[in-house]
Every structure is written in structure tokens, then in C-alpha cells.
Amino acid sequence: MNQAKTFFLMAVLTILFVWLGSLFGGRTGALVAFIIAAGMNFFSYWYSDKLVLSMYKAQPVTEADAPELYNLVRGLAQRAELPMPKVYIIPNDSPNAFATGRNPSHAAVAVTTGALNLLTMEELSGVLGHELTHIKHRDILIGTIAATFAGAISFLASMARFGAIFGGFGDDDEGGGNIFVVLIVSIVASLAALLIQMAISRSREYLADEGGARISGNPRYLANALKKLDAYAKRIPFQSVNPSTSHMFIVNPLKSGGIAGLFQTHPPIEERVRRLEGMTM
């Protein structure tokens, strides 16, 4: 169901881009917007792993450095039929984890010291299984494609607003009232693209939860881990989180509430736990 939802949302995002491009920029405008967004996200796709690991001061570890963690990742990777990813530890008391890398052969998993101190080995296996599922499903690639289209839509919408305000549409007798239509449509299109991008991210989280449960061998491992991670992350917030990377973490490291919930990249913890506890292996 979540896989089909992802494809549907990607299709809607594509249609929205083509429609907005033809409406405001024509084929040329749409192509320029897409090339700009694709160029930015191409760089992100190839180098985001190094950037994000450096951003959070993640330290690479070997089997000699952290034998329990390294062997756990290796065993889960074998069970998931994945190459052994690089393993990193983030020196941060806030319990969390993420995966990065452009494909299974160039992947890494990172866990904070807070998560290592908080979780049991069974719970940690659920978390790492979740992250390995992101790698297996190539969620970094899917997220990059979604970001490319969303970025292109936002660019087109911005250009449309700029043109409407400064380019002019003639006086009222010549249809000058169209400026208001352009402004409204461009704002709605930008918002819709952002919401769709967030919805795609949430769908991938559900899929990763399911995969993590199967790789670890018991859905309750991850369910219990999510309860702990969510509770402790609120008590010990992750300092200096870049909002553009918040979607990578297994639980949202940013504080949220009210209308901000619409823009969350993560589904509610309660719903994730409910689904996991309802799984049968």
C-alpha cells in the first residue's frame, strides 16, 4: 500500500510540475526550472553522505573500535542481503540514528551515543534494520527525485510571482486582474509540492519500519525502540539540527506542533508503533 502511495504521489508531483511549467513558463521555463533543481540535487545525491556525516561530526568505527555494534550491523546486512555499510557513531546524547549513501554499495549507518546508551541490543537491531531498509529501498534516490521536482515547482512558482509583480500584466482592461490568479496559483502550487514531498517521506518511513521489523526478526524490537527514542529525544533535544536533514533521522530531531505537523517528514510515533505491534511475522 505505501509503495503504491509513493508512486502515486510521485506521479502527482510530476503532473503538477508539467502543468505549472506549461501554465507559467511554457516548455522552456519548465525545462530551465527542472535543470536548475536537478543540478542542485545531483550534487546532493552524490555528496550528501559526506556532508551530513561531517555536519554531525560522525566518527567511523571498525570492528576493533565497536565490536558489538559492528557485528550487529554485519549480521543484519547479511540477513537483508546487502553489502556491509560503513558504520559511524555520532557523539551526541540525543538518541537517534540515520542512514545515508547513494546506493547499497556506497552506504553508511550512523548511531548517536545516546541511542547506544539507551537501547538494548534487540531494540538497536530494530533501529538498524529500519536504516538498512532505507538503503535497500534506495530511499535516498527517491527522496532526491522528489526534491528535484518540488524544487523545480517552487522555482517556477517564484518566477511566476516575480513576473506577476514586476513584469506586469497590463491594466485592468487588458486582464490585469490575472496577477491575483497567478499569485494564488503559484502559492498553492508551492505548498502542494512541499506537502507531497513530505507525504512521500512519511510513506517511506512506514515501509522502512516494516522492513526493519522483518530484518530484525521481531516487530516489537523496533516498536519498543521508537517509544524510547521519541520520549528521550524530547527530553534531550538534538542540538544544531539542520532542518534540511531532519528527514534522515529515524525519529524527528526537531520540535514540532500545531500547523507545523502538516510539514512533518515523519509519521506520528503512535501510529508507527501501532502498525508494528499489529504485524505478524
Distance CA 243, CA 107 (A): 22
- C-alpha torsion angle, residues 237, 240, 243, 249 (rounded to 10): -50
Instruction: Determine if residue 81 is left, alpha or beta; phi over 0 gives left, psi from -120 to 50 gives alpha, anything else beta.
Output: left
Q: Which is catalytic among the residues 63, 122, 123, 131?
A: 131
Distance CA 51, CA 111 (A): 16
Distance CA 54, CA 189 (A): 34
Distance CA 19, CA 31 (A): 12
> What is the identity of the amino acid at 27?
R
* Residue found by looking up cell 499489529 in the block: 278
Q: Residues near 92 by Cβ (< 8 Å), separated by ≥ 6?
A: 56, 112, 113, 114, 238, 239
Distance CA 88, CA 62 (A): 9
Q: Is 131 a catalytic residue?
A: yes
> Nearest CA to 39 among 197, 141, 151, 194?
151
Just list the catalytic residues.
131
